[in-house]
Structure 1
């Protein structure tokens, strides 16, 4: 498809996602830069990808700078911007900064949910992201009891109101296990979906983007991550071989990805 329509946004969009899924950050950056050049005002296709790539590379200050620019000059709404800035602070380890930012913008939301007064049907995607990060902060700071009603709210929303689209069906159950601190349910659901259920798209990308940080030090999580990463790199080796045969591979990417002959032999 890319050979016939190399700069069609849909193909570049999906190839950015798939490249992140295959742990091919240099290729994801290539498509992301092309999208930024061709569709500079498109939040979904341009900002979101660039922000995710910066998180994947642990360039958190740059992710915050990018978000501020898009919020100030390119129409990114305040809730999205603040939720994403708080996430970058959290992943950087600035728990207090993240908590303060979230409470300044979303305290009414959290209080309404805790008091049972917020209608789940009214929740927006930026608010969900803000709730998830706040739950992570609370769990990391030993305030899990405050997090519990927020987690129950999100799970109830997934069950009753969430649009049952492709990604929703895939991640709702896994997210709910995570938010409710059910490690066994999380690991079993994610392993089954990835290895037996055909649900691979988006999985490795989300693990690399630290979507489930509170579980990262758990041996069961680490073991599953290694299994998924090994399978991801097996598929990646096949893609790299194909790209080299097509003349579409930059040899400098070998060093960036720390590739060796042994890595490519995984295929």
Structure 2
């Protein structure tokens, strides 16, 4: 059995779906889902994503390798001998209790939002058997989808840990592997509301949540970059009604998220970069 206490809600509920939690934790999660609308929504999305991911994985395993590709591998110049082994299909195996795989597939669907994300299509290849195609997503797409969900929550549901908890910095630093200083953005008209721990691109992400006087929600998110990632300038991007300014600095990927109608997001990002 997995011990998921203290992990992100998505992780705990994914383990619950796969039956990888003990009886005590199972009852605790069921009680949480019964009283918490947000937890219930996450559970439903994870279940749907689990079914979708398993179906896609099953189809991928049973797709034969195109004959033209087999011939090219065997007859083409400079062919790699190791590539000559061709697998045309794979038998369906008994259910494997590997909840991280289910989590990956489930979170992908949760973050799709019904418009983009994990898409598997069938396209012809010179009249041969179709191949699978999946659209690429970045961690910024994941963050945008999270922000779209959480920014609409009521005050008591907006964050996982409230601003009054003085352990936020140590908790997120240990979880994400990034040391940081909590930005004070009062002069920018933003009040710190609290924090969350997210999962984006398969990595833990820290999310700091702020509100302005009009009730608009802003977020600062960051995760540890891949080793060797160079620093980069700030880049602005849009995801429908959400504006994002992202950059790389000292081995960390940052993004500031806010309403697309806000004209001061660049100044906010400059302030965050200088203080975090």
Q: TM-score, normalized by length of structure 2?
A: 0.26
More strand by share: 2
Greater relative contact order, per chain length (Cα 8 Å cut-off, separation 6+) = 1
Identify the structure with the greater helix proportion.
1
